[in-house]
A and B are shown apart, each in its own frame.
Chain A
Amino acid sequence: MSNEARPTRLAIRGVTKRFAVGDDEVEALAPIDLTIPQGEFVCLIGASGCGKSTLLRIIAGFEEPTTGETSIGGKTITGPGRDRGMVFQDYALFPWMTVRENISFGPRQRQLPKAEIEGVADEFIRMVGLERFAERYPSQLSGGMKQRVAIARVLANNASILLMDEPFGALDALTREQLQNELLQIWSRTGVTAIFVTHSVEEAVLLADRVLVMSAGPGRIESDLRVELARPRDVSSPEFNELRRDVARRLTSHLAPTRV
């Protein structure tokens, strides 16, 4: 898949982040420069504490960068917005709303006509295969179903960038595999730009067009790899394994000194 011709969707220029921890300051992100074209599937991978979630939260607008700038289609990000939707590991569904109400939350904020809201809700309930669970509350759903609702909630709001923070980390292996496939289908159907944080090498190589390996202390992008394998990808193929080894090596190479 060639990305050269696509317009830049997300641009990150010289973004750093420092946190105050007690009287100390911790540098969570070293200056980061990154551009992501429209429709690309990017996986951010790294050990915990490498700042991958912080970077994602800065893109979401939940955190402000200490220095630098992030912009979407040339417009600087100043806070959370409808163009970006986050899917959290712990779902963050509204527990007092049914599946349908959760999914239609965004359209309702825009005060669209009622018929249109219902139409959008129906469309995305169908997209994630939850027709029979539309009137259920989140507490009555399994983890996999909850995460489907969370994805649908973001897409129903017309977000053009899907931010995912270890979304399948709390799911069992089979559910996880199924949701990965569904996510890829949804991604290719909607043309949304996806930025996906994970600490699973296999997940990154399976999903991404591009894998960004991050390292800690302070967080920076260690390597930027393209995954050119055709989809659907065969996790048992030698090419897949070679890439997986490559990513794993880059991931652990900077860890080695600290372990000695």
Chain B
Amino acid sequence: MDDHVTTRSDAPERRAPEATTTASRRHRQRLETLRTIVLGVGFPILLVLIWDRAVAISGTRLIPSPHQVAVMMYDFSFGGVYDDAFSGTILIHIWKSVQRVYSGFFLAAIIGIPLGMMIGRSRILRQLLDPTISLLRPIPVTAWLPLSMIFFGLGPNAAIFLVFLGAFYPILLNTMFGVRSIDPRLFEAAAMLGCSGTRMFRQIVLPASLPAIFSGLRIAHGFAWILIVVGEMTGVPTGLGSVVMDGRTLSRTDLVITGMIVIGACGFVTDRIIVAISNRLLSWSPQHRE
């Protein structure tokens, strides 16, 4: 967009379409939305149909049919079908898992973001910590399981620790990367306008690296929900991970699949929340919108 004398002040109007094109564009947009929904929902429905047919044709008794899982899901949510230890307990399990996921996740964010900002800005800190981080990072989080059980015993803290570990590295590394890729001109501009010291962190470093921080948070958040199952294997009585593990122990695959679906749904919904927050905070940055 150029902005010489004649067009400068009314550049937006110049591109404003006439009424007819507005209507046809709205129509096209509606079709586009419809297609997004049909394709996005249609594919999982197709998968469920294939699952149903595959179970029916093979006659396997190891994998439950979608219908059996639906019944289990109903019982897990509202009770009244099997009336066992899992009937109507979904909210308790979700609540326990949410607590653990977000204890670990927020702990990782509270430590990872400031640490990443400081490491990104300070060469000495980078020299001090970078080799250690690079050394610890490739260790799979699940390999920490035995040690975390020794540190924290059999209980929720071991699960929180695993979630924390899994969420920590993506947050830390993305924050470091975000800080290091800030245009140095922005620091110069801020300095010449009288900004310095800790105000530089709050006013320049944090907002400028926010897009990278949010992509780190999003990856970490995904890991956190993955790791909750592993974390809740450590002998806690409640939580979605423990439901899946109990299902395995009891050879109840309908319960296992029900637990898997609930974890997937929780991860999906909370991911959308994170995306919504990030879109709101990053509305200034068109390339980071979804």
Contact = CB atoms under 8 A, between A and B. Distances in A.
A86 B184 CA distance: 14
A101 to B, nearest CB: 10
A88 interface: yes
Nearest to A93: B189
Contacts of B11: 142
Contacts of B185: 88, 90, 92
Contact of B193 (A62, A82, A138, A172): A82
A153 B210 contact: no
B4 A94 contact: no
A84 interface: yes
Contact of B189 (A61, A92, A143): A92
B192 A82 contact: yes
Contacts of B4: 144, 172, 174-175, 177-178
A132 B285 CA distance: 20
In this complex, the interface size class of chain A, counting residues with CB under 8 Å from chain B, is 35 or more
B186 to A, nearest CB: 6
A153 B2 CA distance: 21
B9 A81 contact: no
Interface string A208-235: 0000000000000000000000000000
A85 to B, nearest CB: 6
Contact of A61 (B9, B192, B194): B192
Contacts of B25: none
A132 B192 contact: no
A96 B193 contact: no
Contacts of B44: none
Question: Which residue, of B3, B183, B190, has the highest number of chain A Cβ atoms within 10 A?
Answer: B3
B191 A79 contact: yes
B207 A96 contact: yes
B286 interface: yes
Given A86-B188, A92-B186, A172 B194 contact: no
Interface in B162-217: 183, 185-186, 188-195, 199, 204, 207-208, 210
B2 A95 contact: no
B188 A62 contact: yes
Contact of A96 (B188, B194, B285, B286): B285
B284 A105 contact: no
Contact of A142 (B3, B207, B210, B285): B3
Given A144-B8, A174-B4, A85 B192 contact: yes
A109 to B, nearest CB: 4
A138 B207 CA distance: 14
A92 B282 CA distance: 18
B2 A144 contact: yes
A130 to B, nearest CB: 10
Nearest to B282: A96
Given A86-B188, A96-B284, A178-B8, A109 B2 contact: no
A145 interface: yes
A109 B195 contact: yes
Given A95-B284, A142-B2, A145-B3, A88 B189 contact: yes
A110 B196 CA distance: 11
B1 interface: yes
A178 B3 CA distance: 9
A157 B4 CA distance: 27
Interface in A114-172: 129, 132, 137-139, 142-145, 153-154, 157, 159, 172
B150 interface: no
A129 B188 CA distance: 26
B5 interface: yes
Contacts of A153: 189, 193
What 4 A-B pairs come out closest when comparing CB atoms?
A174-B4, A92-B185, A109-B194, A80-B191
23 contacts: A79-B191, A82-B192, A82-B193, A86-B189, A92-B188, A93-B189, A94-B186, A94-B189, A94-B207, A95-B208, A95-B284, A96-B210, A96-B282, A105-B190, A105-B193, A106-B193, A109-B193, A142-B1, A142-B3, A142-B11, A145-B8, A157-B194, A175-B2
Interface of A: 60-62, 79-82, 84-86, 88, 90, 92-97, 105-106, 109-110, 129, 132, 137-139, 142-145, 153-154, 157, 159, 172, 174-175, 177-178
